[in-house]
Amino acid sequence: MFLPRILSTSGATRTFAPYLVILLLPGGTLIATALWLIRQRRWFAAHARALSQTVAIGAVCLLAGACSGHASVGPPPKPTVSIVTLRTTPVSLTTELPGRVSPYRVAEVRPQVGGVILKRLFTEGDRVKAGQQLYLIDPAPYEASLESAQASLAHARAAVVAAKLTAQRYQALAEVHAVSRQDYDNAVATLQQDEADVATAQASVRTAQINLNYTRVYSPIAGRTSRSSVTEGALVTANQTTSLVTVTQLDPVYVDLTQPTTTILRFKQELASGQIRSAGANRTPAKLLLEDGSQYELPGTLQFSEVTVDQGTGSVTLRAIFPNPQDLLLPGMFVRATIEEGVREGAILAPQQGITHAPDGTATALVVGAQDRVELRTLELGPALGDQWVVTRGFHPGDRLIVGGLQRVHPGLQVSVRDAAPAVAPTSSTQSPQLAAR
């Protein structure tokens, strides 16, 4: 408001050329301002009272605005977090183990007599029954051997008849001393030798009959046949190293699993301490996950556990049996089996989104404690259960776990809480050997 007065009083219409020249010099702005203030000192002296009042009024206005601004600023609002109240629940513990399918029974069919293959009586890959004929070896030589053995048996039996009659006659004559006692003893000995010859001939007949039967090669078990290693006209020998065909029984099948000893020790310790309840040792159920990730429909049962530990891997072999009516499980196939170990009573399940892991693997979580203040907890985790962890240490029933708004809070801060959307609590837990060893 004083600028017009200054300009009018100071002769604003006068020539400003001297000031323009000064402004062009280094530091000219300060010099020009100083010269102007010197020239206007009388005017400032005359209007000092008005200037002081104006400055005071401006200061009061500035102070009032600042005070009103400070008065409108209050304490910051408490951040709101979503919480889940933790409860205890029984959890069914299961272990997922890798394994391979093994056949229930395998029979490598080999010839027990030598000869030429006359017929192959099956189709490769087909199912065969136990006792079904697979091959026919030329039986002619063995039929001849059987006939020869039967003739020898008839000859031996005829000799026995003659020797028996001789011995009977000599017995009557020896009683009246018509022949010597030596002749009678010789007749009895000849009869016994002929009876032994009959027994030998009978054994030869049985051997020849067995060899003749072996020319018909049968399947010892029911199952599927492999490729045949011989065709009609091939010459085979008795007990050769190469099998004619392999018959594999695929219903049911075994699944051999490997389990770390650390998992077995942990399970036994928790079972002994009463932390978990056994699911039953007689018929432990098991399920399969196939190589493509699909679930095998038919459940199986755990048969037995190996009594020794593999020194190379430090693991124990478990064997489960599964029905396989459609031959979907083939020997050598890689699968994953889920075995029910037991039930953990009073387990605490915590959502995974509320738990963080440090670079060293330590699990931590934030909970709302007394007076709605945030607290930091260090946890020990068990197996994963869907989108939740089984917490073995660090939580207590009733704890309020923060699952939403974690980025806005820190330990010691007072917060407002709201319940998160409840999740469906699962009832079973699947753990891998790595998690079980944690």
**Domains annotated on the chain, with CATH:** 3-72 (no CATH), 82-91+344-436 (2.40.420.20), 94-103+249-343 (2.40.30.170), 110-246 (2.40.50.100)
The pLDDT tens digits for 365-388 are 899 888 888 889 888 887 777 788
Q: In this predicted structure, what is the pLDDT of residue 51?
A: 62
The pLDDT tens digits for 208-240 are 999 999 999 999 999 999 999 999 999 999 888
How far is 339 from 320, CA to CA, in rounded Å? 9
Query: What mean pLDDT comes out for the span 94-122?
Result: 90
How far is 1 from 8, CA to CA, in rounded Å? 12
Do β-strands 88-109 and 428-431 pair in parallel, antiparallel, or remain unpaired? parallel
Name the pTM for this structure.
0.57
How far is 167 from 179, CA to CA, in rounded Å? 12
DSSP secondary structure letter of residue 293:
S
Q: In this predicted structure, what is the pLDDT of residue 314?
A: 75
Mark out the alpha helices in 176-313 (DSSP H runs): 181-214, 261-273
Residue 147 has pLDDT above 80, yes or no: yes
The pLDDT tens digits for 169-223 are 888 888 888 878 888 888 889 888 988 989 999 999 999 999 999 999 999 999 9
Of the chain, the percentage scoring pLDDT greater than 90 comes to 24
Highest mean pLDDT among 157-166, 255-264, 269-278, 418-427: 157-166
- C-beta of residue 380 within 8 angstroms of C-beta of residue 416: no
Q: In this predicted structure, what is the pLDDT of residue 31?
A: 67
